[in-house]
C-alpha cells in the first residue's frame, strides 16, 4: 500500500529537520540542542496521539534498543537523585537541566521510526556537518582574530573534539561506499573527512592527539581485512600531519613530554587532585554539584587552591570520571560507565555483520562512546550541553538506522532441510499457535505425545501426520525419542508453550539459506505474561534450540534437560525472540512453580546432592532474586518483572527446601534391625 501523502510530507519535513540540526549543530549557536528539542517534541506529540487512539506509537522495541534507552535514562535519573540528596543546590539544578535531555531518547527514536529515517540521511548529515565545520574553521583562521583558535558555535575544545569524531565516523563508512561503487558518496565522504580533520586541527584541541590514535586503531581492528588499509592510510596520514605541523597541539604535546606544562594543563592536575579528595570524603553518593563548586571556592579563598581555578574548573573537573565520582560518587560512576559501555557493546556485536552497511554503521556507533571516553580524560564532556546533545542525537539515530537495516537484511531463503520436534501432554490451548509459528521454517514436524486426554493430538494432526503417542519417561528421554525420529540435517526443538516470532522465523531461514556460520543456535526467550512481553529478567536467557543433528543427543534429566553437543561445535545466539507463554494465569504459575521445584529437588537428590539446613535454600532464593531482578535488569519490565522475579525466587527456595526435606527424611530413617 502506498504511503499516504501527509505521511510522506511529514517524513520529508522531519528528515530535513534532522539534516539541518546535525549540519548546523557545530556552527550555529544552540541549533543542535534546539533541533533535538523540536524533534523530541514532535515525538512526544506522536506518542500522545497514538495513546489517545489506543495504539502503540511503534511496535515492541528490540531488546538492544531498550538497553541503550535505559543507559541514557539511568544517567539522567542519577543526576536527579544527586540533586535531591545533596540539597537541591543551584549548580545541581543546572546539571539536571543538561542531563535531563538524555530522557528524550525514546521520543527521538519514535519520530525517526515514524519518519523511517534512512541511512543516507545520516550519511549526508555527517558529511554536511563536517564540511560546514571545516569551512567555518578556515574562515575563522583566515579572517578571524589573529592567532585565534577555530571554535564554531562553541569554544574550541568541543568544536575540535566533535569535528574529529565526525571525520572518524565518516572514515568508518568510506570503505563500504567504495565497495558498493557509490563513487559520488565516496568523493563527498573524502571531502567531508578532509574538512572535519581541518576543523579539528585548526581548533588546536590538544586531547585530539590522545583520542585520534586510539580511534584509528579501533577502526583498523574492527574493519574487515580489505577495508583496513584504507582507514589506516588516511588516518595515519592525518595523524602524522597533526603531530608534524607547527601548532598548539604539537607544541603542547612536545612540552608535556619534556616536563613543561602550561597553566591549562597545570590547572587540570590541581583540580583532579581536589576532585579525588572530594570523592574520598563521600564515596557512595558524592558531594553534589553544589558541594563541588562550594569546595573549589572555599579552597581558593583559603589559599589552598590557585585562584585561576575560578571560572576554569569551579563547575567541572575537566575529567568525566573524576567529575561524577566527586559529585555523584560510585553510583554516578556506575551510571557514567553504563552510558558509554552499553551502546558500545550493542554496536560492537554488529561490527562483523555480513551486511557491509550494518557493519560500517555499527563501527561508527562504537566510535561515539569510545571517543567520549577519550575526550573525557581531559574534559568533562557530559557537563556541556553541546556534547550531550550530540551524543543523544547521534547514538539515537544510529540505534534506529542500524537495527532497521539489520531487520531488512533478512532476505535469504532456507536451503537446509529442517525437522521440528515437540513433546506434548494436554497442550490443546497452545499446540495450534505453536505449530503454526514453526511451519515457515519446517520441512517436517514431529510430535511425541504422552497420552493427552484433551484435543492436543487432534489439533496436531492438522499440521503433521508424524505423531507418536507413548508413555512418559521424563523430559530428557522423551525429547531424545523425538530426536531419533528426525530426518533433517538440522533440528529445531521447541516446547508447546513457545512460539517463533515472524522475525525469528525469517532469521532462521536466512541463517540456513547458505553455509551456516555455526553448528547450533540459541534463541533468546521473550516471556509473555499477563499481557506483557518481558525482554529482561528470565527473558535474559537464550536456550539452545536449533542445531545440526549429527552427533547430538539430549541428557536423560527428568526436568531441565540439556542438549549435548559434540566437542568443538560452534554456538551462536540469534537476535529474534522465542516467545514463551509460561503459564495461563497466576494460579497456573504457582502450580508450575511447585511442580518444577519438587521435580528439581528429586533430581538433585537422585544425583547425590544434600542440604542439612534451610540456610542454603534461603541463600539460593536471594541469589535468584538478585540475578533475575537486578543483574538481568528485570526491573525494566515494570511490575510484571517484579512479580516474575518473586515467583522464581519462591520457586528457588521451594526447590532447595524440598531437597532439605528429602535429606532430613533420609537422616531420620531407621537403620538396621528394630528392637523386639
- Tell me the H-state helices in 304-430: 320-348, 356-375, 385-408
CATH assignment, 418-580:
3.90.550.10
- Residue-wise pLDDT for 487-503, tens only, equals 999 999 999 999 999 99
248: pLDDT strictly greater than 70: no
Mean pLDDT of 458-475: 95
- Tell me the H-state helices in 409-501: 431-438, 456-460, 475-485
Task: Compute the distance between CA of residue 62 and CA of residue 349 in angstroms, rounded to an integer.
Answer: 14
| Confidence bin at 244 (pLDDT 50/70/90) | low
Task: Compute the distance between CA of residue 547 and CA of residue 590 in angstroms, rounded to an integer.
Answer: 32
Sign of CA dihedral 256, 259, 260, 265: positive
Which range scores top for mean pLDDT: 212-216, 301-305, 309-313, 388-392? 388-392
Residue-level pLDDT at 191: 95
Q: Which three cell numbers stand for residue 22?
A: 546535525
Q: Across the chain, what does the average pLDDT equal?
A: 88
Give the domain ranges of the chain: 5-408, 418-580, 586-667
393: pLDDT strictly greater than 90: yes
- Using a pLDDT cut of 90, give the percent of the chain over it: 60
| Gyration radius from the chain CA atoms | 30
- Tell me the H-state helices in 416-575: 431-438, 456-460, 475-485, 502-511
Q: How far is CA 252 from CA 69, 151, 202, 209, 259, in A?
A: 38, 18, 14, 10, 11
**Pairing relationship of beta strands 571-573 and 520-522 according to DSSP bridges:** parallel
- Residue-wise pLDDT for 524-582, tens only, equals 988 888 888 888 887 778 899 999 999 999 998 877 789 999 998 999 999 999 998 88
| Confidence bin at 130 (pLDDT 50/70/90) | very high
**Pairing relationship of beta strands 498-500 and 578-580 according to DSSP bridges:** antiparallel
Residue-level pLDDT at 150: 81
| Confidence bin at 344 (pLDDT 50/70/90) | very high
Count the neighbouring beta carbons within 10 Å of the beta carbon of residue 239: 17
Q: Which three cell numbers stand for residue 339?
A: 552510558
- Determine if the pTM surpasses 0.75: yes
Amino acid at each position: 500500500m502506498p504511503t499516504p501523502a501527509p505521511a510522506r510530507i511529514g517524513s520529508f519535513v522531519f528528515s530535513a529537520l534532522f539534516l539541518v540540526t546535525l549540519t548546523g549543530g557545530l556552527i550555529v549557536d544552540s541549533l543542535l540542542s534546539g533541533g533535538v528539542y523540536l524533534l523530541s517534541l514532535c515525538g512526544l506529540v506522536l506518542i500522545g496521539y497514538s495513546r489517545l487512539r489506543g495504539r502503540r506509537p511503534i511496535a515492541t522495541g528490540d531488546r538492544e534498543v531498550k538497553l541503550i534507552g535505559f543507559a541514557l535514562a539511568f544517567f539522567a535519573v542519577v543526576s536527579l537523585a544527586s540533586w535531591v540528596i545533596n540539597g537541591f543546590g543551584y549548580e545541581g539544578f543546572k546539571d539536571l537541566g543538561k542531563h535531563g535531555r538524555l530522557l528524550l531518547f525514546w521520543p527521538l527514536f519514535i519520530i525517526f521510526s515514524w519518519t523511517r529515517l534512512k541511512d543516507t540521511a545520516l550519511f549526508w548529515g555527517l558529511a554536511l556537518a563536517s564540511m560546514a565545520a571545516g569551512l567555518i574553521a578556515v574562515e575563522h583562521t583566515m579572517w578571524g582574530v589573529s592567532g585565534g583558535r577555530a571554535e564554531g558555535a562553541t569554544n574550541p575544545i568541543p568544536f575540535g573534539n566533535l569535528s574529529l569524531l565526525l571525520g572518524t565516523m565518516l572514515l568508518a563508512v568510506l570503505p563500504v561506499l567504495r565497495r558498493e561503487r557509490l563513487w559520488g558518496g565516496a568523493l563527498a565522504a573524502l571531502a567531508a573527512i578532509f574538512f572535519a580533520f581541518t576543523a579539528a586541527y585548526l581548533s588546536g584541541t590538544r586531547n585530539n592527539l590522545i583520542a585520534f590514535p586510539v580511534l584509528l586503531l579501533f577502526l583498523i581492528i574492527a574493519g574487515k581485512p580489505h577495508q583496513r588499509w584504507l582507514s589506516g592510510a588516511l588516518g595515519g596520514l592525518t595523524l602524522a600531519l597533526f603531530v608534524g605541523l607547527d601548532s598548539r597541539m604539537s607544541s603542547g604535546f612536545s612540552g608535556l613530554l619534556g616536563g613543561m606544562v602550561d597553566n591549562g594543563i597545570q590547572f587540570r592536575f590541581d583540580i583532579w587532585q581536589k576532585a579525588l579528595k572530594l570523592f574520598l570524603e563521600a564515596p557512595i553518593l558524592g558531594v553534589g554539584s553544589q558541594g563541588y563548586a562550594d569546595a573549589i571556592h572555599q579552597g581558593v579563598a583559603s589559599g589552598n587552591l590557585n585562584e585561576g581555578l575560578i571560572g576554569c574548573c569551579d563547575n567541572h573537573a575537566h575529567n568525566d570520571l573524576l567529575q561524577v565520582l566527586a559529585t555523584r560518587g560510585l553510583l554516578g560512576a556506575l551510571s557514567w560507565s553504563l552510558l558509554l559501555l552499553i551502546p558500545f557493546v550493542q554496536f560492537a556485536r554488529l561490527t562483523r555483520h555480513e551486511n557491509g552497511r550494518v557493519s560500517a554503521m555499527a563501527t561508527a556507533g562504537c566510535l561515539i562512546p569510545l571517543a567520549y571516553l577519550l575526550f573525557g580524560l581531559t574534559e568533562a564532556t557530559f557537563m556541556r550541553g553541546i556534547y550531550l546533545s550530540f551524543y543523544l542525537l547521534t547514538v539515537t539515530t544510529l540505534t534506529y538506522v542500524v537495527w532497521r537495516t539489520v531487520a531488512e537484511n533478512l532476505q535469504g531463503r532456507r536451503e537446509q532441510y529442517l525437522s521440528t520436534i515437540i513433546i506434548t501432554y494436554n497442550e490443546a490451548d497452545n499446540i495450534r499457535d505453536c505449530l503454526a509459528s514453526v511451519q515457515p521454517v519446517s520441512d517436517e514436524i514431529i510430535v511425541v505425545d504422552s497420552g493427552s486426554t484433551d484435543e492436543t493430538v487432534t489439533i496436531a494432526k492438522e499440521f503433521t501426520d508424524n505423531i507418536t503417542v507413548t508413555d512418559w519417561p521424563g523430559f530428557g528421554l522423551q525429547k531424545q525419542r523425538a530426536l531419533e525420529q528426525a530426518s533433517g540435517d538440522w533440528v529445531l526443538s521447541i516446547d508447546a508453550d513457545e512460539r517463533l516470532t515472524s522475525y525469528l522465523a525469517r532469521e532462521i531461514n536466512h541463517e540456513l539459506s547458505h553455509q551456516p556460520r555455526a553448528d547450533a543456535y540459541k534463541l533468546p526467550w521473550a516471556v509473555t505474561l499477563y499481557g506483557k512481553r518481558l525482554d529482561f529478567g528470565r527473558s535474559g536467557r537464550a536456550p539452545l534450540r536449533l542445531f545440526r543433528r549429527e552427533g547430538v543427543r539430549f541428557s536423560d534429566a527428568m526436568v531441565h534437560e540439556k542438549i549435548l553437543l559434540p566437542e568443538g561445535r560452534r554456538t551462536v545466539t540469534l537476535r529474534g525472540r522465542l516467545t514463551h507463554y509460561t503459564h495461563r494465569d497466576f494460579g497456573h504459575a504457582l502450580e508450575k512453580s511447585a511442580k518444577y521445584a519438587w521435580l528439581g529437588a528429586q533430581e538433585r537428590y537422585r544425583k547425590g546432592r544434600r542440604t542439612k539446613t534451610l540456610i542454603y535454600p534461603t541463600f539460593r532464593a536471594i541469589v535468584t532474586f538478585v540475578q533475575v531482578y537486578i543483574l538481568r535488569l528485570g526491573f525494566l519490565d515494570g511490575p510484571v518483572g517484579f512479580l516474575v522475579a518473586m515467583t522464581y525466587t519462591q520457586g528457588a527456595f521451594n526447590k532447595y527446601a524440598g531437597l532439605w526435606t528429602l535429606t532430613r527424611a533420609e537422616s531420620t530413617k531407621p537403620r538396621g534391625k528394630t528392637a523386639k
